[in-house]
Amino acid sequence: MVNIAVFVSGYGSNLSAIIQAVNDGLIRANIALVVSDNKEAYALKRARDAGIKHMAVEPVNYASKAEFEKAVLQALVREKVGLVVLAGFMRILSAEFVSAYRNKILNVHPSLLPAFKGEDAIRRAFDYGVKVSGVTVHFVDEKMDHGPVISQKQVIISDGEALESFEKRIHAIEHELYPEAIALCVEGRLKIEGRKVTAV
Ligand code: GRF
């Protein structure tokens, strides 16, 4: 069974959806480690409550980004991690880190990429006045919110809808789409050819 590490920075609702999917047998993998770059992240409490090994690795405690990533990579090697799942992890991984886990890092982003890359995507899409947004799950490469797309699902914004309602619907879709993509990935069912990913 594949050992997964989930990287978090904040609230951890996606982490909980992933834990649930593992417990339900939808994702046939073991969550070996939760890594947070913020020791105050609520996600760490979720990991603790679920009995999952977790650690805070804070960049301020390291001399450089390279040293920080080295500490994280050491933890991954220690736990024999085969797949890294970013779940609200607010940090860009270096090219070196990405190449150590080439095609073995996934991310969820709350927009239909390549629209609204980066932070605060839900609110920016809403403020822009788009009629359709959604969720993207993708492989991580060297560029932010850029790697090959695994799955996307649209969310239509209705006239007069409040941001809070739109946000809620985006998160609900994330909590379905991400576990499904992780499940395919751990089963070795994602074929990548250039930017094209197909489920086989
Ligand atoms: C999610 O919307 C995710 O797509 C984005 O950050 C948010 C994290 O939420 N990258 P949570 O910490 O999983 O609740």
User: Tell me: the pLDDT tens digits for 8-45?
Assistant: 999 999 999 999 999 999 999 999 999 999 999 999 99
CA distance 133 to 74: 38
Confidence of residue 7 (pLDDT cuts 50, 70, 90): very high
> Around Cβ 156, how many Cβ atoms within 10 Å?
12
Residues, the chain: 200
Q: Is the dihedral of CA 71, 4, 19, 137 positive or negative?
A: positive
- In the chain, % of residues over pLDDT 70: 100
Pocket mutation for ligand 1, best pick of 108, 176, 182 (most atoms within 8 Å of C-beta): 108
The pLDDT, as a whole number, for residue 107 is 98
Pair of tokens at residue 185:
């990935």
The pLDDT, as a whole number, for residue 179 is 98
Residue 142 CA from chain centroid, whole number: 15
Q: How far is the CA of 88 from the centre of ligand 1 (A)?
A: 4
User: Tell me: the pLDDT tens digits for 131-140?
Assistant: 999 999 999 9
The pLDDT, as a whole number, for residue 134 is 98
- Output the pTM of the full model: 0.97
Q: Annotated active-site positions, please?
A: 109
- DSSP code string of 85-154: EESS--SPPPHHHHHHTTT-EEEEESS-TTTT-STTHHHHHHHHT-SEEEEEEEE--SSTT-SPEEEEEE
Q: How far is the CA of 19 from the centre of ligand 1 (A)?
A: 15
Ligand 1 pocket residue status of 27, Cβ below 6 Å:
no
Ligand 1 pocket residue status of 14, Cβ below 6 Å:
yes
CA distance 121 to 27: 27
- Identity at 36, one-letter amino acid code: S
Confidence of residue 166 (pLDDT cuts 50, 70, 90): very high
The pLDDT, as a whole number, for residue 112 is 98
The pLDDT, as a whole number, for residue 28 is 98
54-56 β-sheet, strand order:
54-56, 29-36, 2-8, 83-86, 105-109, 132-139, 149-156
Pair of tokens at residue 166:
């739109």
pLDDT averaged over the chain?
98
